[in-house]
Amino acid sequence: MTDFIYLASQSPRRLQLLEQWGVHCKLLLPEADEDVEALEVVKAGEKPAAYVQRVTGLKLQAALARIRHRKLKPAPVLCADTTVALGARILGKPEGKADAMRMLADLSGRRHRVLTAVAVGRPSLRGDKVWSALSTSWVEFAPLTPSQIRRYVESGEPMGKAGAYAIQGHAALWTSHISGSYSGIMGLPAHETAQVLNAAGARLR
């Protein structure tokens, strides 16, 4: 068992959830010259589940390489990625306010999926070991008016969020139904995360 893990994520929500679950984390953030956004580019015809698992795997590989490059103490590394899917269409992070407004208008009054892939890697000279899992949840929004969407986008909350919303924020007010993992919709599914961390030998209180 190890008494800490590396969290290779810039999401404050993921760090907050792990600390809430009693996991001691050390942030393992990218170098200034690492192009993390390039890892999130969608391939032509790629399905949402395949996409989110591929991106998580790429982020984990980059994080494990970071440990070696910085000569850090070996410990489990956790990575995750979340995407919103409307049918087969992937809704990533909005590129700007107009993009966020389009996404929210498309989600208005409809049911969509939120997929979060989580992976833990343990560096080893004999070959890195990896454990991974996928959480799929369903979210339904009430119909939104153009003024509701505009005010929400102007608040800044949708920026940097898959699907242009944060379930733990103002978007909760128009979320009419959830099926699945609430923490997974936030960005880190509790059950699946506990499974991969336990498999990797990480200590959970």
* Active site amino acids: 81
Number of CB atoms found within 10 A of residue 96's CB: 9
Pairing of strands 77-86, 111-122: antiparallel
Tokens of 86: 């409307």
The backbone region for 199, taken as left when phi is positive above 0, alpha when psi lies in -120 to 50, beta otherwise, is alpha
Residues 6+ apart with CB under 8 A from 183: 17, 189, 190
> Do 53 and 117 meet the contact criterion of CB atoms below 8 Å apart?
yes
- CB neighbour burial string for 124-162, b if at least 16 within 10 angstroms, e if fewer: eeeebebbbbbbbbebebeebeeebbeebbeeebbbebb
Q: Burial, 171: exposed, middle or buried (Cβ in 10 Å; 0-12, 13-18, 19+)?
A: buried
